[in-house]
Amino acid sequence: MTDDVELSDLGVAAFVADGGHGVVFELSRPAGVLLKLYHNDVDVLADELRRLIELPAGLVGVDRGLVGAATAWPCARVFHRGRCVGLLMRAAPARFSTRLAGRARLLELQFLLYPRRAMWSELVLPTEVGRRGLAMRYLRVFQVLHRNNVLVGDVSMRNLLWTLTGGPGVFAIDCDGFRIAGRPPAVRAADTVGWTDPTARHGEVTSDTDRYKLALLTLRLLLGDHRVTPADVLATPALRALVGPRLGLLAADATRPGTRPSAESWLGALADRGSGART
Instruction: Report the distance separating Cα 179 and Cα 182, nearest Å.
Output: 8
pLDDT by 10s per residue, the chain, length 279: 567 999 999 988 999 999 878 999 999 988 899 999 999 999 999 999 999 999 999 999 999 999 999 999 999 999 999 999 999 999 999 999 998 888 889 999 999 999 888 888 889 999 999 999 999 999 999 999 999 999 999 999 999 999 999 989 999 999 999 999 999 999 987 889 999 999 999 889 999 999 999 999 999 999 999 999 999 999 999 999 999 999 999 999 999 999 999 999 999 999 984 344 343
Domain 94-275 - what CATH class?
A: mainly alpha
Instruction: Report the distance separating Cα 78 and Cα 192, nearest Å.
Output: 26
Instruction: Report the distance separating Cα 54 and Cα 37, nearest Å.
Output: 20
Helix (H) or strand (E) holding 223: helix 207-223
93 upstream amide cis, omega within 30 of 0: no
Would you kindly state where each structural domain of the chain is located, as residue ranges?
Answer: 5-60+73-90, 94-275
Q: Reduced to 3 states, what is the DSSP secondary structure of residue 273?
A: helix
| CA distances from residue 79 to 45, 76, 187, 248, 257 in whole angstroms, order as listed | 12, 10, 15, 49, 41
Domain 5-60+73-90 - what CATH class?
A: alpha beta
Q: Would the pTM count as exceeding 0.75?
A: yes
Q: What is the CA radius of gyration of the chain?
A: 19
Domain pair 5-60+73-90 / 94-275, same fold = no
